[in-house]
Structure 1
Amino acid sequence: MGEGSLRKRKDQDNRKEDGQSIQSQEPQATNLKKQVGLISGICMIVGTIIGSGIFVSPKSVLANVGAVGPCLTIWAVCGVLATLGALCFAELGTMIAKSGGEYPYLMEAFGPIPAFLFSWASLLVIKPSSFAIICLSFAEYASAPFYPGCDPPPVVIKCLAAAAIVVITIVNSLSVKLGSYLQNFLTAAKMIVVAIIAVTGIVLLAQGKTQNFQDSFKDSKISVSSIGLAFYNGLWAYDGWNQLNYITEELKNPYRNLPLSIIIGIPLVTVCYVLINVSYFTVMTSTELLQSQAVAVTFGDRVLYPASWIIPLFVAFSTIGSANGVCFTAGRLVYVAGREGHMLEVLSYISVKRLTPAPAIIFYGAVTIIYIIPGDINTLINYFSFAVWIFYGLSVFALIVMRFTRKELKRPIRIPIIIPVIVTLISILLVLAPIITAPELAYLYCVLFILSGLIFYVLFVHFKFKWSQKISEPITMYLQMLLEVVPPEEVAE
């Protein structure tokens, strides 16, 4: 590791002896700056959550529960669960005020191995596959108007998705403010399409189009397996509720703005999701919705024709905004992993001119482009929630553990212990549900891949083989000169 990184780690060790390992905030010279305020924080949550999910998942949720009533209930309960989980992360984020989301929480509670496994799975599977799927969804909606009556060619979708990834990566590498402003603009754009769909549904309801809501629980398919799978699809649309914890170090007044962004942002998303689903059911029966290839497009064709082109246009804005939010936050996870020595050291470096974690963001974008090359990346959606809820559950369980093992840490936000207990139990159910109800070898492969990170941890982190350093040092030096980046440095008091 470089001199700057070793000096930083030594300073952190000294703070640990004082019982303030993470909470202390030292003046910084070349480091991430606090540039994200309350409005940008709310936009980051809303903009990241509302992406492609609400335009894809309604069909899957309905297919699993079979009726309008249970479907709307699932969407509301998913919002409550996301809020509870985000409140748990609010306590974690203000108690351990470091960027990187689950990574520093697992490090503090359980040590480096679980934290490394999280970064291993997130950097190579969870985050890039999510980013790639969102960009592919953007490409499909953006190219659809140019191919009326047929599906766009796969090569067009992949090239457009790759272009979106490159643009988003460049924007977030150049400037934190530019990425934040772009997120604010795209969030406003996606709220327009959300408002169009929701208001149209309310107007139709006021006109008496309520026939699809009569006997709304009739013919429902209620079972443990169906509810579990419905939650999987609903929670995919809510994924992103923890994104602000990845940029805690860049939040202005995080003790105030982090919980406020959560309390305002996620309930706002929940209301929007329920209203959008209500609007869908005002113009489509359950059967018609299940037969629709693109629910939002079908809604637009029936209600807004001949201006139905507005829907795919603004859905494209929605998905690209979600992709921008994911890139903005996930790049910080790579940055923190590099800073802790669990990835190449250069990934923890910061641009001298831009003050952004440019190497981490570029690495993340490059890995994501690899994921759009295979023919059918959408199969990863089935296992995304399985992998991510393993670490959501572990992180919330870490909150419970640190209530007893790290009592000395300051907790500006302290939630009732029953909330993390409930979220932990639900996480266990969500992880076990697909294995019990629809066992597949793919879940075993997913677990084995996560555990395979132990091999890399032992070789490159624990033992630090000399030959690996001989390879990484010239790479780090070359990239440092090419990208004009330096290690984060702390100014001596």
Structure 2
Amino acid sequence: MQQQSPNEPRASLSVFDAVCIIVGIVIGSSIYEVPPLIFANVSGPWMGLWAWLLGGILALIGAFVYAELGTTYPRIGGDYVYLTRAFGRLVGFLFGWAQLTAILTASIGSMAFVFANAADNLFFAELGASEDRRALLAAASVTVLSLLNIAGVVLGKWTQNLLSVVKVLGLGGIIVAGLALAQPGALRVPAEHAAGPLGFGFAMIMVLYAYGGWNDAAFVAGEVRNVRRNLPLALFFGVGLITAIYLLVNLAYLLGLGFQGVQEPDAPGRLLHAFVGPSGSAAMHLIIIVSALGAVNGLIFTGARIYSALGADHRLFAWLAQWHPRLGSPHWSLLLQWAIALLMIGGVGTAHGRRTIDALVGYGRYLVNGMPADLSQLLDGQWENESGTLELRWARANQQPRFAVRRDGQVLVQGTAQVHADRLRFQPEPHDSPSSAPKIPEEWQQLLNGEWHLQEASVRRLVLRNHENQTWSALRAEIPWRQYLGGFGTLVAATAPIFWLFFLLAGLSLFKLREIDSDRERPFSTPFYPIVPFIFCLTCAWMLYNSLTYARWLSVIFAVPVLAGILVYWLSNKPAQENS
């Protein structure tokens, strides 16, 4: 294990600075979006609040583990340092590579779009929704905050502190609104209420995602003053403060809206609207803007430290370890992180980018499997346009070809499909309950009526024409963007298994490091060892399983750039091996 690099910065972060990093990263958009999902799937309000408290307890258990790791190995880079020491250079490198190419940069882009959506709704609502405009806003936020961090650690931490304090004040406003609007019997459970089909397990998955990011303070351990004392304090106080805020905000939702009301979308917006009137919507957008910017800045600040630590150990990336002599920032790491985040914003945050990715995946699939031998194989798959998705599943083992029309995650109609030469006809099946059948838009009604001629059927595009010379067209969707709520929703879902895998390995590293560095001084020791780290590892394993179940085959596609890190690692170490 290398000693602290001369390129690493001097310790300049206080407990308050580290707490602001934790609060800024963790409290992003989940506290505004997931409470309806959580309370709809539990038996009552107290069970929902217990889920939030249990999430805080599990995060605190993880904080005990990271407090020992961070004080025993007080270098910048956090998990990169622990994994390298415990499992070798390759595992550490793959962690840093995964953060750079998928996990952390995807989180930066995702939170930048949360900011962009709120800013667009607040300042440009009269212009109508525009995904390209929101992509530009997201890119601008990442650019400005990256420049602020390049300008120096002091400016970066001041920005983080300001955003975190304003964020907490905004959440305090929501708490005040809930208490002021408290309804008699708000916590009463209606007799007809039944917990949703996904249950308490799903609620806990949502809660644990809402707590994600508290460990990022370990990435800056080498910059925390008096790290032996202050890093554990920051972790414990940060997690405790977040838990208290989450409990109070959810209690405010319940008191102000009632148990039934909190299960409906936009709980904070409706609460503030009831408290301050029409301006409540603008206030909610401002709170989300500050929350998102705080998360983006925190991720930018901490993420660059991982790549700097990686650069200090791997010759091919040595330039990432350089810190600007005057500004005192890892400028090359910040610039590379900025460039990849912008590529992700353009790639998955815009329709053109997603179509390009679909094309690349499609051509890659046909390159591996060969071009389709007949028309039915070419038609098989999902075809999307602005109105929704047409899913075609062709005959397998003498089964009748099937189709389904989906919109906003809902199946509008399904049935059988027939193709003869270049003619295509759909036969819808009657709905099980006609009275509750979803309304089918006119464009889809038109598609389901009559016979269609296959004017164009290619790897990328499907165009149909009927006898009235009307056309219907769609592009092949190799990746189900809509199913996972858009570009970054898909990207975060697909990379979540990688995140939880490395989180699990970080927990396991504590056991390994206690074995191989048994004589090393440990300023903080995890209490009730090995029970506490075992619970942490068990939680990570459970979340790894659930994230794989949710992402399914998507995790394989988005694991490709991560696994490419093995080749990059080999290239980065080849000169050293040849010279040895």
**Residue 451 of structure 1 aligns with which residue?**
563
- Pick the aligned partner of 1:236 from 180, 198, 209: 209
**Residue 370 of structure 1 aligns with which residue?**
343
How far has the Cα of 1:459 moved from its partner? 3.0
Q: Which amino acid letter does the alignment assign opposite residue 209 of structure 1?
A: P
Judged with a 3 Å threshold, the aligned counterparts in structure 2 of structure 1 residues 107 and 177 are, in CA distance, closer, same or farther, namely same
- Pick the aligned partner of 1:43 from 5, 10, 20: 20
* Whole-Å separation in 1 of the counterparts to 2:545 and 2:511: 21
**Residue 415 of structure 1 aligns with which residue?**
526
Does 1:220 find its partner at 2:195? yes
Larger strand proportion of the pair: 2
CA deviation profile, 1:455-474 (whole Å, cap 9, x unmatched)? 222233345699xxxxxxxx
Q: Using structure 1 for the length normalisation, give the TM-score.
A: 0.82
Mapping 1:78-227, distance limit 5 Å: 78-148=55-125, 152-205=129-182, 208-214=183-189, 218-221=193-196, 226-227=199-200
How far has the Cα of 1:242 moved from its partner? 0.8
Does 1:442 find its partner at 2:414? no
* Whole-Å separation in 1 of the counterparts to 2:140 and 2:560: 33
Does 1:304 find its partner at 2:415? no
* Whole-Å separation in 1 of the counterparts to 2:342 and 2:251: 36
* Whole-Å separation in 1 of the counterparts to 2:192 and 2:91: 43
Judged with a 3 Å threshold, the aligned counterparts in structure 2 of structure 1 residues 123 and 131 are, in CA distance, closer, same or farther, namely same
Mapping 1:19-30, distance limit 5 Å: 22=3, 28=6
* Whole-Å separation in 2 of the counterparts to 1:441 and 1:74: 29
Point out where structure 2 has 5 or more consecutive residues left out of the alignment.
351-486
**Residue 400 of structure 1 aligns with which residue?**
511
Segment drifting more, 343-352 vs 182-191:
343-352
Judged with a 3 Å threshold, the aligned counterparts in structure 2 of structure 1 residues 434 and 41 are, in CA distance, closer, same or farther, namely closer
Judged with a 3 Å threshold, the aligned counterparts in structure 2 of structure 1 residues 115 and 173 are, in CA distance, closer, same or farther, namely same
CA deviation profile, 1:213-251 (whole Å, cap 9, x unmatched)? 4369951247xx644433332222212201211111111
Which entry has the higher C-alpha Rg, 1 or 2? Answer: 2
**Residue 541 of structure 2 aligns with which residue?**
428
How far has the Cα of 1:349 moved from its partner? 0.7
How far has the Cα of 1:452 moved from its partner? 3.4
Q: Which amino acid letter does the alignment assign opposite residue 274 of structure 1?
A: L
Does 1:277 find its partner at 2:245? no
* Whole-Å separation in 2 of the counterparts to 1:149 and 1:63: 33
* Whole-Å separation in 2 of the counterparts to 1:290 and 1:153: 29
Does 1:391 find its partner at 2:494? no
* Whole-Å separation in 1 of the counterparts to 2:174 and 2:192: 24
* Whole-Å separation in 2 of the counterparts to 1:390 and 1:216: 42
CA deviation profile, 1:77-105 (whole Å, cap 9, x unmatched)? 11111111122111001111111121010
**Residue 479 of structure 1 aligns with which residue?**
none
Q: Secondary structure at the match of 1:85?
A: helix
Point out where structure 1 has 5 or more consecutive residues left out of the alignment.
1-15, 467-493
* Whole-Å separation in 1 of the counterparts to 2:91 and 2:245: 36
* Whole-Å separation in 2 of the counterparts to 1:439 and 1:395: 22
Judged with a 3 Å threshold, the aligned counterparts in structure 2 of structure 1 residues 66 and 128 are, in CA distance, closer, same or farther, namely farther
Structure of higher RCO (CA pairs closer than 8 Å, 6+ residues apart): 1
- Pick the aligned partner of 1:257 from 230, 241, 258: 230
How far has the Cα of 1:386 moved from its partner? 2.3
How far has the Cα of 1:270 moved from its partner? 0.7
* Whole-Å separation in 2 of the counterparts to 1:433 and 1:101: 25
Q: Which amino acid letter does the alignment assign opposite residue 404 of structure 1?
A: E
How far has the Cα of 1:280 moved from its partner? 1.8
* Whole-Å separation in 2 of the counterparts to 1:41 and 1:291: 35
Task: Report if aligned partners of 2:186, 2:256 keep a CA contact under 8 Å in 1.
Answer: no
Task: Report if aligned partners of 2:40, 2:263 keep a CA contact under 8 Å in 1.
Answer: yes
Larger helix proportion of the pair: 1
Identity %: 27
* Whole-Å separation in 2 of the counterparts to 1:400 and 1:304: 53
Judged with a 3 Å threshold, the aligned counterparts in structure 2 of structure 1 residues 145 and 36 are, in CA distance, closer, same or farther, namely same
Task: Report if aligned partners of 1:336, 1:348 keep a CA contact under 8 Å in 2.
Answer: yes
How far has the Cα of 1:75 moved from its partner? 1.5
**Residue 478 of structure 1 aligns with which residue?**
none
Judged with a 3 Å threshold, the aligned counterparts in structure 2 of structure 1 residues 216 and 342 are, in CA distance, closer, same or farther, namely farther
Segment drifting more, 351-360 vs 442-451:
442-451
Q: Using structure 2 for the length normalisation, give the TM-score.
A: 0.71
* Whole-Å separation in 2 of the counterparts to 1:451 and 1:291: 41
Judged with a 3 Å threshold, the aligned counterparts in structure 2 of structure 1 residues 120 and 60 are, in CA distance, closer, same or farther, namely farther
Number of equivalences? 437
Task: Report if aligned partners of 2:167, 2:290 keep a CA contact under 8 Å in 1.
Answer: yes
